[in-house]
Structure 1
């Protein structure tokens, strides 16, 4: 996984956790609109073409399912990977993301 893909999956997973904390269902929390990259505080700074390329990388890894419309789903494989990686949840994840931002 590239460093950019790592940063992207962390940002997406953080949003997923925030949605779950608000009481949204797993299905609702894992569905992202085509506008997500424009609205994310970290990823909105990236070139749109880079977001597309990195999302494709995550799709090849089985972490995202991407629709033609641009919507995408965070897969259960990605959620499992991230749960095992950040056992302390959103606090540990937020700290990790903040260290990635230059």
Structure 2
């Protein structure tokens, strides 16, 4: 199971929301999955998040196979990230069941 820090998950959620907004206004998927470097993201939709924190999150997302990261820290949102976000409720339910299962097995 993929694990992301809370900060990175928050940024992924914001990126996914931006992707959805782009699709709603009629952008093609090919255009909607392309994102700029961190300082541009700050002005576009990640206001209030430090550029270094964005870069760290992008590195974490890249290591987890959710984005293709370019040398200028621009990136492409991969289908795996879109699928992950589309299934996030199921992911949370599965995590809860895993935790409950571990607790029950520890009690026996």
Please show how residues 1-102 of structure 1 align to structure 2 within 5 Å: 1-34=4-37, 35-40=40-45, 43-85=46-88
**Match of residue 96 from structure 1:** none
TM-score w.r.t. the length of structure 2 is 0.72
Q: Which protein has greater RCO, CA pairs closer than 8 Å, 6+ apart?
A: 1
TM-score w.r.t. the length of structure 1 is 0.76
Which deviations, in whole Å up to 9, do the C-alpha atoms of 1:1-29 show, x marking residues without a partner? Answer: 11001100000000000011111111100
The offset of 1:37, in angstroms, is 3.0
Q: Which runs of 4+ in 1 moved over 2 A?
A: none
- 2:55–2:73: 8 Å Cα contact kept in structure 1? no
**Match of residue 93 from structure 1:** none
State the alpha-carbon separation in 2 of the partners of residues 13 and 86 from structure 1: 14
Q: 1:63 to 1:37 in 2, by over 3 A?
A: farther
The offset of 1:69, in angstroms, is 2.3
Q: What is the aligned residue count?
A: 85
Two-structure CA RMSD over aligned residues (Å): 1.6
Q: Which runs of 5+ in 1 are unaligned?
A: 88-102
Instruction: Specify the SS of the correspondent of 1:69.
Output: coil
